[in-house]
Chain A
Amino acid sequence: MTNTVAPEALTFECETGNYHTFCPISCVSWLYQKIEDSFFLVIGTKTCGYFLQNAMGVMIFAEPRYAMAELEEGDISAKLNDYDELKRLCLQIKRDRNPSVIVWIGTCTTEIIKMDLEGLAPKLESEIGIPIVVARANGLDYAFTQGEDTVLAAMAARCPKQVLEAEKEERSGIQKLLSFGRKKEEVAAEESEYVEHPPLVLFGSLPDPVVTQLTLELKKQGIKVSGWLPAKRYTELPVVEEGYYVAGLNPFLSRTATTLMRRRKCKLIGAPFPIGPDGSRAWIEKICSVFGIEPKGLAEREKQIWENLEDYIQLIRGKSVFFMGDNLLEISLARFLICCGMTCSEIGIPYMDKRYQKAELEMLEKTCNEMGAPLPKIIEKPDNYNQIQRIYELKPDLVITGMAHANPLEARGINTKWSVEFTFAQIHGFTNARDILELVTRPLRRNHALKDLGWDKLVKEEAKV
């Protein structure tokens, strides 16, 4: 496979957009856990509620800090006053949960009936005394992880400008209380370890352990992370000022990046994303190069991680992978897997921001050339039906797909990995490269264990014309 003649450049195509993905309101499921003092109110219908409740599975029972403002017929026909209704619900939320911020998630329905959430929010905010952030994460405009992008873009507008010294003390005081204290003090003591560089703010919601890992990874290079968007608490949103540098952690954050650049006058460090050891190294190197720092020990670190991955890589080297596309992580994952020796003929992706992902795309191309792998076709807004026909033709060794297609494909003898797991697993940085391969190789390992049983194809021949 690796000897196939590669086309000269990546090709981009756009299909019909008939594909399966999660609704972007699903971002509340990880964001309410990340931002501990938030409350997410999804303003939509039963359809939205049903999706959330089923997609979140067990999480729903843990007294979540999110709820539906379920629209009724009176709301649709404007018999009821939107402002009064929202006020009533938000006061109830304030009374029961007392959050530091209420995030309104606009849905398809609020778009269609043109409910002016952005207009209502500031009025209600001053009336009830809780910040209200509005994000329009609807299925008319966005797919799955782009929901986080709309929320973070809205949050970016709320990041404070340079705080006064006293207030700064108070802010870090809160942090100290929240067991962050010890680490913060250490950081303060070791201020001298950092190189002199302009403030750097990272954006993208990651689990706290990964935040720590990446912060320490940059610290090794003498780079100080001034803040994260989002932080653990809304009250700890980072200071963002004109001239600050920002870098994205995830490929789906283009609106946030745009907002930080245009509205907050930050400078975006365009780098590949820290997914896989290759991506992690490139990400750090790019940040170093922007700050004029000579990176230390990165080559050895990357090499060592690759060595640790060898047992997993043996399982996938020379095998082919097909991305149906549903969460925008596809380019980075494909680049990493090609670097592991896989081949990839098609990368489906809901939406391709060629500017925001420029460095990642270049790295993909470079990786393909280095590995002697053919360049994949990137299919934006894919058509699942057509893709399945192509999968039947290509017979890839692994298809990364949504749950709607996973079981039917498995029943036809095709190995699949559920794509959503990549969104919820820890996949960033050097440390977590193994977790990505753990996910990727799992179907191969499982099916290897069953290979002699003759149970590959478990559907009766379909009589299709």
Chain B
Amino acid sequence: MKLAYWMYAGPAHIGTLRVASSFKNVHAIMHAPLGDDYFNVMRSMLERERNYTPVTTSVVDRNVLARGSQEKVVDNIIRKDNEETPDLIVLTPTCTSSILQEDLENFVERAQIDAKGDVMLADVNHYRVNELQAADSTLQQIVKYYIEKAKKKGELPEGKTEKPSVNIIGVSTLGFHNQHDCTELKRLMADLGIEVNEVIPESASVHNLKNLPRAWFNLTPYRELGIMAAKYLESEFGTPYIDITPMGVVETARCIRKIQQVVNAQGANVDYEEFIDNQTLHVSQAAWFSRSIDCQNLTGKKVVVFGDNTHAAALTKILAREMGIHVVWAGTYCKYDADWFREQVSEYCDEVLITEDNGEIGDAIARVEPAAIFGTQMERHVGKRLNIPCGVIAAPIHIQNFPIGYKPFMGYEGTNQIADLVYNSFTLGMEDHLLEIFGGHDTKEVITKSISADSDLNWTKEAKAELNKVPGFVRGKVKRNTEKFARERGFEQISLEVMYAAKESVGA
């Protein structure tokens, strides 16, 4: 047993449902107790989805517990098959059903006899994989199922497309800015003269999966979702895949160069160097931003980064390599894929933090007292309490992270969006500077918002006045340091003298 207040990645079935409901006309039936269909609420609220989420429950109740599901699951599959005529029904086990150890495979086989559509059992172990791993394996499972089906029927199309083409693999519902990234990637491919063969799973039809082998290569922009499917296609058809996330100026260029190499190896003759150059210097504003005076003010500022593998790694590189910001630690909650993360970020930060424990992360932030945090919604709330600004860069996310406006993180427009996000997260440079010179314009009473300094100490009037002269954004820190100093030395009252002594002792 584990005491947990918060979790970063959801349970396995969420991953399966995300993939299944991303496809068009695929229905998922959960074998679950009442109330486990919370996925529908999330999709309807966060994505503001206009259509009914194609997920229903075959309810596990006391009767099922006593006698087994018997006909219930099969009936529910066939009923849904009649009502909505989906192309595919994915029977989704949950944590509850996996302990019941019913033979769901058998239900699927029985239902398949009467159902007009295809029926499949999502093959995930609830106690071993999380949402992200399950999503990855479900996508692979569906791809494999339809490739094999097409093979058997002799419907697999021969050869590649005439012009260079790509499958974009891993765009899914409830993914962080996935819709916008997808649009941006399609635009990028169009600029490069590469046809988009298929995008999966988002808005894809399972009937088109047999066309996947026609692409020249596969692009898997997200580390968490799509690589298993890409690997399968590589082993089956020799299709190369590119897993460089085009996020940030340098990585986008690297991704494009890799595309160049892959398509030229198959007989195309393309040179993207001029395109990269033009985009970098004149179209995207990010390179110019990093050179501008604004960004100069960010030099050496301390930040921490936490999120999923894709976003935390990309942001760490952008901050350190493209903006000259000091990343004190970078972390991920993708423990199962920690080696990859370490390898990606080690040279760009002082320390790597691999954990799913939000308490540990909160403490690590409090310890470092960075000027800004880049993390998930959880880190945003830690930031609120410590009075440190936070830019949200990864799931878990709230409704405000599903913006209506166009906000990709990938490609060249993505670099612009990230530059805005980073810049706006810091106290504006000039304002910061002026506050330091004039001792701050904020004369409000200090309210402690910190974790570490729930004060029981008295401040003399003079000391309090002096504290108020400290600029607002570092005041909390000064207050905490002074009180820590006073406590360590047994002062009950904080006078001006104590305050200055504290300041000297920390050398600030």
Residue on A with the closest CB to B75? A16
**List of B residues within 8 angstroms of A299 by Cβ:** none
Q: How many residues of A contact B (CB 8 A)?
A: 66
**List of B residues within 8 angstroms of A449 by Cβ:** none
Quick one: given A45-B11, A139-B34, A404-B41, are A92 and B3 in contact (CB under 8 Å)? yes
Residue on B with the closest CB to A350? B34
Question: Contact between A405 and B52 (Cβ–Cβ < 8 Å)?
Answer: yes
Write the A131-156 contact mask toward B (1 if CB under 8 angstroms, else 0): 00000001111111000000000000
Residue on A with the closest CB to B12? A46
For residue B274, CB closer than 8 A to chain A, the reply is: no
Question: Contact between A18 and B45 (Cβ–Cβ < 8 Å)?
Answer: no
Question: Contact between A408 and B44 (Cβ–Cβ < 8 Å)?
Answer: yes
Docked Cα-Cα span, A89 to B33, in Å, equals 26
A-B residue pairs, 7 tightest by C-beta: A23-B35, A139-B33, A404-B40, A411-B50, A61-B381, A46-B11, A139-B35
22 interchain pairs, CB-CB under 8 A: A19-B34, A23-B34, A46-B11, A46-B126, A47-B94, A49-B7, A50-B10, A50-B14, A53-B396, A61-B378, A67-B4, A68-B3, A70-B2, A93-B3, A109-B96, A111-B65, A141-B61, A403-B45, A404-B37, A405-B52, A408-B50, A459-B51
Identify which of residues 297-341 in chain A touch chain B, using a CB-to-CB cut-off of 8 Å: none
Residue on B with the closest CB to A66? B5
Write the A386-407 contact mask toward B (1 if CB under 8 angstroms, else 0): 0010000000000000111111
Quick one: given A53-B7, A108-B33, A407-B48, are A45 and B41 in contact (CB under 8 Å)? no
Quick one: given A51-B38, A139-B35, A407-B44, are A108 and B96 in contact (CB under 8 Å)? yes
For residue B99, CB closer than 8 A to chain A, the reply is: yes
Tell me, rounded to whole Å, the shortest Cβ–Cβ distance linking A356 to chain B: 20
Write the A174-189 contact mask toward B (1 if CB under 8 angstroms, else 0): 0000000000000000
**List of A residues within 8 angstroms of B95 by Cβ:** 45-47, 109
**Which of A72-80, A248-256, A280-288, A423-431 is near enough to bind chain B?**
A72-80
Interface hub of A19, A85, A408 (most chain B Cβ within 10 A) = A408
Tell me, rounded to whole Å, the shortest Cβ–Cβ distance linking B241 to chain A: 30
Question: Contact between A403 and B1 (Cβ–Cβ < 8 Å)?
Answer: no
Question: Contact between B56 and A67 (Cβ–Cβ < 8 Å)?
Answer: no
Tell me, rounded to whole Å, the shortest Cβ–Cβ distance linking A54 to chain B: 6
Docked Cα-Cα span, A113 to B96, in Å, equals 10
For residue A211, CB closer than 8 A to chain B, the reply is: no
**List of A residues within 8 angstroms of B51 by Cβ:** 408, 411, 459, 462
Quick one: given A47-B13, A108-B60, A112-B100, are A464 and B4 in contact (CB under 8 Å)? no
Tell me, rounded to whole Å, the shortest Cβ–Cβ distance linking B38 to chain A: 5
Question: Contact between B1 and A85 (Cβ–Cβ < 8 Å)?
Answer: yes
Docked Cα-Cα span, A138 to B53, in Å, equals 24
Residue on B with the closest CB to A113? B99
Question: Contact between B96 and A18 (Cβ–Cβ < 8 Å)?
Answer: no
For residue A343, CB closer than 8 A to chain B, the reply is: no
Docked Cα-Cα span, A25 to B96, in Å, equals 15
**List of B residues within 8 angstroms of A465 by Cβ:** 85
Which residue from A73, A111, A142, A402 sits with its C-beta under 8 Å from B41? Answer: A402
Docked Cα-Cα span, A80 to B127, in Å, equals 15
Docked Cα-Cα span, A80 to B6, in Å, equals 23
Identify which of residues 441-465 in chain A touch chain B, using a CB-to-CB cut-off of 8 Å: 458-459, 462, 464-465
Residue on B with the closest CB to A62? B381
Question: Contact between B96 and A76 (Cβ–Cβ < 8 Å)?
Answer: no
Write the B23-64 contact mask toward A (1 if CB under 8 angstroms, else 0): 000000000111111101110110011111100110111100
**List of A residues within 8 angstroms of B13 by Cβ:** 47
Identify which of residues 91-122 in chain B touch chain A, using a CB-to-CB cut-off of 8 Å: 94-96, 99-100
For residue B151, CB closer than 8 A to chain A, the reply is: no
Docked Cα-Cα span, A76 to B126, in Å, equals 11
Docked Cα-Cα span, A85 to B1, in Å, equals 6
Residue on A with the closest CB to B83? A385
For residue B398, CB closer than 8 A to chain A, the reply is: yes
For residue B84, CB closer than 8 A to chain A, the reply is: yes
Identify which of residues 283-312 in chain B touch chain A, using a CB-to-CB cut-off of 8 Å: none
Docked Cα-Cα span, A22 to B2, in Å, equals 24
Q: How many residues of B contact A (CB 8 A)?
A: 54
Docked Cα-Cα span, A71 to B6, in Å, equals 14
Question: Contact between A67 and B5 (Cβ–Cβ < 8 Å)?
Answer: yes
Question: Contact between A70 and B4 (Cβ–Cβ < 8 Å)?
Answer: yes
**List of A residues within 8 angstroms of B37 by Cβ:** 20, 404
Question: Contact between A73 and B99 (Cβ–Cβ < 8 Å)?
Answer: no
**List of A residues within 8 angstroms of B127 by Cβ:** 72-73, 76
For residue A371, CB closer than 8 A to chain B, the reply is: no
Docked Cα-Cα span, A50 to B42, in Å, equals 11
Identify which of residues 130-185 in chain B touch chain A, using a CB-to-CB cut-off of 8 Å: 130
Question: Contact between A50 and B96 (Cβ–Cβ < 8 Å)?
Answer: no
Tell me, rounded to whole Å, the shortest Cβ–Cβ distance linking A424 to chain B: 15
**List of B residues within 8 angstroms of A209 by Cβ:** none
**List of B residues within 8 angstroms of A388 by Cβ:** 52
Residue on B with the closest CB to A19? B34
Docked Cα-Cα span, A86 to B99, in Å, equals 20
**List of A residues within 8 angstroms of B52 by Cβ:** 388, 404-405, 408
Question: Contact between A140 and B94 (Cβ–Cβ < 8 Å)?
Answer: no
**List of B residues within 8 angstroms of A25 by Cβ:** 35
For residue A14, CB closer than 8 A to chain B, the reply is: no
For residue A129, CB closer than 8 A to chain B, the reply is: no
For residue A55, CB closer than 8 A to chain B, the reply is: yes
Question: Contact between A464 and B84 (Cβ–Cβ < 8 Å)?
Answer: yes
Tell me, rounded to whole Å, the shortest Cβ–Cβ distance linking B48 to chain A: 6
**List of A residues within 8 angstroms of B1 by Cβ:** 43, 69-72, 75, 80, 85-86, 88-89
Quick one: given A57-B398, A402-B41, are A46 and B10 in contact (CB under 8 Å)? yes
Docked Cα-Cα span, A112 to B126, in Å, equals 15
Question: Contact between A140 and B4 (Cβ–Cβ < 8 Å)?
Answer: no
Question: Contact between B38 and A72 (Cβ–Cβ < 8 Å)?
Answer: no
Docked Cα-Cα span, A66 to B182, in Å, equals 39
**List of A residues within 8 angstroms of B10 by Cβ:** 46, 50
Tell me, rounded to whole Å, the shortest Cβ–Cβ distance linking A277 to chain B: 32
For residue A60, CB closer than 8 A to chain B, the reply is: yes
Docked Cα-Cα span, A458 to B94, in Å, equals 34
Tell me, rounded to whole Å, the shortest Cβ–Cβ distance linking A436 to chain B: 23
Tell me, rounded to whole Å, the shortest Cβ–Cβ distance linking A399 to chain B: 13
Tell me, rounded to whole Å, the shortest Cβ–Cβ distance linking A414 to chain B: 12
Quick one: given A20-B40, A61-B381, A403-B45, are A140 and B60 in contact (CB under 8 Å)? yes
**List of A residues within 8 angstroms of B41 by Cβ:** 20, 54-55, 402-404
Tell me, rounded to whole Å, the shortest Cβ–Cβ distance linking A189 to chain B: 37
For residue B444, CB closer than 8 A to chain A, the reply is: no
**List of B residues within 8 angstroms of A405 by Cβ:** 44, 52
Docked Cα-Cα span, A53 to B33, in Å, equals 18
Docked Cα-Cα span, A69 to B2, in Å, equals 5
